Each structure stands twice: as structure tokens, then as C-alpha cells.
Chain A
Amino acid sequence: ETGVTQSPTHLIKTRGQQVTLRCSSQSGHNTVSWYQQALGQGPQFIFQYYREEENGRGNFPPRFSGLQFPNYSSELNVNALELDDSALYLCASSLAGRDTEAFFGQGTRLTVV
């Protein structure tokens, strides 16, 4: 059984650029969620994907978008990068349902300069 894997581990982008982060969910998990963790803060919910559709979103603007593929892997896309987008981006996978356990990847550290 493989865990949640994210790529790349580190990334540096210039303000205004676009970025794509990738996540492979744990084997058998059909739900993927993305979180943003600024330095010294707890992770904040960005959105969740189930059956290739977004079915929940936190307080993030539309320039944060995502995809989920038939194999349950996922992408997070951020357009028009801002300096405040610098953070650790975490992907979590789980089974669908209200009381399931979330498993997280190692994260992608994004720095916007």
C-alpha cells in the first residue's frame, strides 16, 4: 500500500506566474482535499474533490482551481501568483464519508518571489 505522494517538493515562482502541484492519493482512497499552510499557522482548507468534481471549497479565490483524475490523483492549479501564496501546500486523501480518516502527503513548499 502506497501513501500520499506530492510533487514537486519545492518550487520557486515569480509573482504573476501560474503553478501546478500534483498529488497521488493513497491506494483505494477516492477523495482528495488540498490545504494551504502559511508559516506558523495551521492548514487552511482550499477544496475537496470526489468523483472528479469539486464538492467543497474554503475561502479561496477562483484563481485556485483543481482537477481529479479517474485514478483519483489530483492537481492544484494557482493562477496569477501573489507573494502571499507562498506556503506549504498539503494534499490529503481519504475514503468518502463523514467520519473517515485523512492521510496527508509530505507537502509542496511554494515560494513566490
Chain B
Amino acid sequence: KQEVTQIPAALSVPEGENLVLNCSFTDSAIYNLQWFRQDPGKGLTSLLLIQSSQREQTSGRLNASLDKSSGRSTLYIAASQPGDSATYLCAVRAYSGAGSYQLTFGKGTKLSVIP
């Protein structure tokens, strides 16, 4: 059974700092990994998608890496801003049988960026 762990559970940083969020998964038989942002009580916004054959993806101040063999991904946020405050979730996509594929999520890292 796939398990996804995110460390730390919560993180508070001053504005302008660079930070790294970690995600690990137990089964390397994945097709892709997505990082999402979730604001309180809201849905999920997809930030970055990394296919299993890729090592990293970048979007603006965000950079995500994937080491599939070791079951790890990191999300790097440069020059953090108060607007980055949210919960960040990682999810891995794997085959779940009968032609379907499902995402398995971690519990998230709650980020607070202090002005």
C-alpha cells in the first residue's frame, strides 16, 4: 500500500526566505507526482506536475524535484511572500486496478510566511 509522508507538518518563515518542503513515498511504481496548494477550506490548486521520467519542473519561484528510485520529492520556494501562506500537498499517481489510476496524498505542510 502506497504511503506518502510530508515533512515538516508546519513551517513558519520570515518573508523573503527560501524554503524546502519534503515529500516521501513508499512505492516507487508511480507515473507522476503533483504538488498542490490548498487555502483554508478551499479546493486544490495544481502547482507542478513531474512525470516519472523527469527529474525536476519549474514554474516561476517554484521548483520541484523527483528522485523516483529513492521515493523522494522536494518543493523549493524562492523568495517567499505572505501570499504563499497555505497548505502544500504532494500526491503520487499510481495504478489502482481495473484500468484506473489514483492519487495518494500526504497530509500536507502548513506554511506561514511572516511579513
Per-residue interface assignment for chain A, residues 7 to 48, with 1 indicating a CB less than 8 Å from any chain B CB and 0 otherwise: 000000000000000000000000001010000111111001
Contact A56 B107 (CB under 8 A): no
- B interface, size bucket: 20 to 34
A50/B43 contact (C-beta < 8 A), A40-B107, A98-B31, A98-B95 known: no
Interface size on A, residues (CB 8 A): 29
8 Å CB contact of A43 from B32, B51, B93, B105: B105
- Main secondary structure, interface of B, reads strand
Selected from A35, A55, A109, the residue in CB contact (under 8 A) with B100 is A55
Pick from B42, B44, B96, B106: contact of A45, CB below 8 A. B96
B4 touches A48 (CB 8 A): no
Nearest CB in chain B to that of A105: its residue: B43
A99-B94 Cα distance, complex, nearest whole Å = 9
Residues of the A chain whose Cβ atoms lie less than 8 Å from the Cβ of B25: none
Interface residues of B (CB under 8 A from A): 4, 31-32, 34, 36, 41-46, 49, 51-52, 89, 91, 93, 95-108
Chain A contacts to B: CB under 8 angstroms: 4, 6, 33, 35, 40-45, 48, 50, 55-56, 58, 88, 90, 92, 97-99, 101-107, 109
A-B pairs, 4 with minimum CB distance:
A56-B100, A42-B105, A106-B43, A104-B44
